[in-house]
């Protein structure tokens, strides 16, 4: 079974799986192969769902800075997979442009509305790669919530305006939300506020200078205070919940406003994509991602796949662009052996450009690892 995540900046998960499969077919034409490209809730989640049989749909929504953008979601029966990065991700910003104070998740809310229009009654919201730190205000505004200033005027929902919120009107939220199971798929466990919160940890990755981080933290705190006055202690508890700080606080907005439950992204996606059924009876599992490093150990896709395979007694090997884990760390993660493209082609630019060919060439070593 071939179940890799993407090689970011080089190959999609589907392209990685196809390259590995092509190499294995050449090395052993009799090998029985099954490829399931995977994701952990971040970039590539919709693509993974489509590869597993979901139908790709699209909608024109606001990008993080308000310009129209075409964003995809996936539907199967009454289940929809919405990927925040499709509408509100860093990759939707113009090259070299960051605006951490004014970027918004409004487009993600529009994408959720499109999924509801398509008949979704279970909605998986994959978060990761967000361009904003708006506490989910943009998302909720697109679904009918109103964020009001002291003068009663509606505020533009973005990080810069959160500190000016005097009240929040949730009465206009799309009534279909109450009949929809919303599941937040995330690989981070950060709370909303504080040293390990959305602004402090992830704000700088979105271009936030120290003064911006302080402004965003103040705004998120104000959002919690206002919602606590209106909704009670549930709003405070939600801010401390692991995952509330995901995607610039979208986790918090989804928990409080949409009644979302939080699940580890890779755990949920493996279930949704039917990976466990495919693992049973496999002789070897091949997984991987662009960089196998310390972050991989914190709930990233390859480790999730390896641990699932171990439950069924199936060995796992990994392919990657670069390997920054020790042999002991790999074994503790359930990975028997890892093969890095950087060991074959040390020039990073050439390795990324020629990744598919290099992956195909690893096939004999993968088969040897299978024993």
pLDDT tens track for 125-171: 999 889 999 999 999 999 999 999 999 999 999 999 999 999 999 99
The pLDDT of 187-210, averaged and rounded, is: 95
pLDDT-based confidence at 222, cuts 50/70/90?
very high
**Is 3.90.1510.10 the CATH number for 45-266?**
yes
The pLDDT of 228-236, averaged and rounded, is: 95
DSSP string, 221-257: HHHHHHHHHHH-THHHHHHHSTTTTHHHHHHHHHHHH
Residue 72 bridge partners (DSSP) = 58
Q: 20-49: per-residue pLDDT in tens?
A: 999 999 999 999 999 999 998 888 899 999
Taking 80 as the threshold, does the pLDDT of residue 71 lie above it? yes
Taking 90 as the threshold, does the pLDDT of residue 5 lie above it? yes
CATH class of 13-38+278-370: alpha beta
Q: Where in the chain is the domain with CATH 3.90.1510.10?
A: 45-266
Assigned token pair, 280: 């049973």
Q: Where in the chain is the domain with CATH 3.40.50.10350?
A: 13-38+278-370
Task: Give the distance from CA 364 to its chain's centroid.
Answer: 32
> What is this structure's pTM?
0.91
Q: How many Cα atoms occupy the beta-carbon half-sphere of 358 within 13 Å?
A: 25
Q: 260-317: per-residue pLDDT in tens?
A: 999 999 999 999 999 999 999 899 999 999 999 998 888 789 999 999 999 999 999 9
- Phi and psi, residue 272, nearest 5°: -65, -35
Query: What is the rounded CA–CA span in Å between residue 323 and residue 325?
Result: 6
User: By the 8 A CB rule, do 250 and 105 touch?
Assistant: yes
pLDDT of 295: 85
Taking 90 as the threshold, does the pLDDT of residue 326 lie above it? yes
Q: 85-125: per-residue pLDDT in tens?
A: 999 999 999 998 999 999 999 999 999 999 999 999 999 99
Query: What is the rounded CA–CA span in Å between residue 133 and residue 248?
Result: 4
């Amino acid at each position: 079974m071939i179940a890799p995540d993407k090689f970011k900046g080089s190959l999609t998960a589907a392209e990685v799986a196809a390259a590995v499969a092509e190499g294995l077919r050449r090395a052993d034409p009799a090998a029985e192969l099954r490829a399931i490209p995977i994701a952990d809730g971040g970039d590539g989640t919709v693509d993974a769902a489509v590869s597993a049989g979901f139908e790709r749909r699209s909608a024109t929504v606001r990008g993080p800075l308000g310009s129209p953008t075409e964003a995809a979601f996936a539907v199967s029966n009454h289940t929809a997979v919405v990927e925040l990065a499709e509408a509100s991700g860093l990759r939707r910003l113009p090259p070299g442009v960051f605006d951490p104070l004014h970027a918004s998740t409004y487009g993600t809310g529009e994408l959720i509305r499109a999924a509801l229009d398509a008949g979704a009654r279970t909605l998986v919201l994959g978060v990761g790669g967000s361009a904003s730190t708006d506490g989910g205000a943009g998302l909720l505004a697109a679904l009918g919530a109103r964020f009001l200033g002291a003068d009663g005027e509606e505020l533009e929902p973005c990080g810069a305006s959160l500190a000016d919120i005097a009240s929040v009107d949730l009465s206009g939220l799309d009534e279909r939300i109450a009949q929809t199971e919303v599941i937040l798929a995330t690989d981070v466990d950060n709370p909303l506020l504080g040293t390990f919160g959305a602004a402090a940890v992830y704000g700088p990755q979105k271009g936030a200078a120290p003064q911006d981080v302080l402004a965003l933290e103040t705004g998120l705190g104000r959002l919690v205070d206002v919602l606590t006055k209106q909704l009670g202690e549930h709003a405070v508890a939600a801010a401390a919940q692991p995952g509330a700080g995901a995607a610039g606080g979208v986790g918090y907005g989804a928990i409080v406003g949409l009644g979302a439950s939080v699940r580890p992204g890779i755990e949920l996606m493996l279930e949704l994509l039917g990976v466990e059924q495919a693992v049973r009876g496999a002789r070897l599992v091949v997984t991987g991602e662009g960089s196998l490093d310390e972050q991989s150990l914190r709930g990233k896709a390859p480790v999730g796949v390896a641990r699932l395979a171990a439950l069924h007694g199936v060995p796992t090997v990994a392919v990657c662009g670069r390997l920054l884990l020790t042999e002991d760390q790999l074994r503790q993660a359930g990975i028997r052996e890892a093969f890095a493209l950087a060991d074959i082609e040390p020039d990073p630019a050439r390795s990324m450009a020629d990744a598919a060919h290099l992956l195909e060439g690893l096939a004999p070593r993968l088969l040897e690892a299978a024993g």
